[in-house]
Amino acid sequence: MKHPYLTDDHEIFRRSLRKFLEKEAYPYYEQWEEERMIPRTFWTKMGEQGYLCPDIDEKYGGSEVDWGFAVVINEELERVGSGLVGVGLHNDIVVPYITAYGTEDQKKRWLPKCTTGEIITAIAMTEPGTGSDLANIQTTAILDGDHYLLNGQKTFITNGIQSDLVVVACKTDPKANPKHKGVSLLVVERDTPGFSRGRKLNKVGLHCQDTAELIFEDCRVPKGNLLGEEGKGFLYLMEKLQQERLLVAIAAQTAAEVMLKQTIDYVKSREAFGKPVSKFQNTQFKIVEMATEIEMGRAFLDQLIAEHIEGKEVVTKVSMAKWKLTDSARKIAGECMQLHGGYGYMEEYEIARRFRDIPVASIYAGTNEIMKTIIAKNLGL
């Protein structure tokens, strides 16, 4: 049966990318985990090979390829490790805000360096007191002549330490009613006066992915750095969250596939009571249950990606995929660790890292509880 979106070109691209990662990522990943940072040199190498923002217009340094290539990139990065999520955030979450809502001048200023890795991007929505409720963010940006005075704090910001360009959700009209109409998006550049980094956060998992607090104290952001129109930031966020949540689903599905393969290999080689662990009925049933769930998840996800590429409105299905596939991956991580026995609890086995990394997928990009709320609303409940 014909694949719903992958072609021979995508598979050729995948082989090339995998070869690149086998040389530039796999050998160093554990070192990056220990150092709690992915070096900028990896970003620039990705850029040199055309793996950063490949879908954007050629005049800005992209290749104008379809989004299927982005899926391949995100899958292959996840196979290396979940800590590479910051690359997908740059390529497929932050940069699309600039391509969709930026002026021609903004695109010329920022996009070419986004494709080379000279500019690493981040998006700052979450605040210490505000998570999924974006209409109630407290960060303000008050116009003062040709600049906005930006004040507030953001937390849990992916690429927070290394970012050179941060799309900040803020209130340009704190008194707006309804509240969401006061939200706007400002682009803050590295070294802007009043912009500083807080702590590099110490997380349970995703150790090599830098996550940080960002602080804005009378940060003077040029008026020309407003992204799109004032007061439309909330609508922009809602439009782009579909793709962000789809990326999380893709990563979760890929992680589940990787964990299952590793576990099958392990139970075949590990012996107990004189025979491979794979020969015990309980092991076989557990493996079969996981394989079936993963296969069904992949079928749903691939069709969903195809619909997204076609430009269809698939918010309900994306919300379903985000909660179901992340929840499934978290359960599969636990089952796979159990089948590894005591060795599954040892850092030398990759399943231990996967077990730490996967739970956050149920939380970021909107919690799974929020996903269920969206689904319920769209079902007319």
The pair of structure tokens assigned to 202 is 């110490």
**Which of 33, 75, 76, 244 does the annotation list as catalytic?**
244
How far apart, in Å, do the first and last CA atoms of the chain sit?
37
Contact criterion met (CB below 8 Å) for 158 and 363: no
Going by C-alpha positions, the residue among 330, 316, 317, 332 that lies closest to residue 361 is 330
Contact criterion met (CB below 8 Å) for 365 and 245: yes
Taking the C-alpha atoms of residue 131 and residue 145, their distance in angstroms, rounded to an integer, is 31
Name all contacts of 370-378 with Cβ < 8 Å and 24+ positions apart: 370/132, 371/245, 371/319, 371/320, 371/322, 371/323, 372/319, 372/323, 374/315, 374/316, 374/319, 375/316, 375/319, 375/320, 375/323, 378/315, 378/316, 378/319
The pair of structure tokens assigned to 330 is 């978290």
- Estimate the crossing angle of helix 40-48 against helix 8-24, to 10 degrees: 150
Which residue(s) pair with 130 in the sheet?
127
Query: Where would I find the beta strands (DSSP E) of 250-348?
Result: 271-272, 275-276
Going by C-alpha positions, the residue among 353, 330, 329, 349 that lies closest to residue 340 is 349
- At residue 76's C-alpha, the angle toward residues 71 and 77, to 5°, is 100
Going by C-alpha positions, the residue among 168, 173, 211, 159 that lies closest to residue 189 is 168
- Estimate the crossing angle of helix 68-80 against helix 233-269, to 10 degrees: 50
289 labelled catalytic? no
Cβ count near 68 (within 10 Å): 20
Taking the C-alpha atoms of residue 284 and residue 278, their distance in angstroms, rounded to an integer, is 6
List the catalytic residues: 244
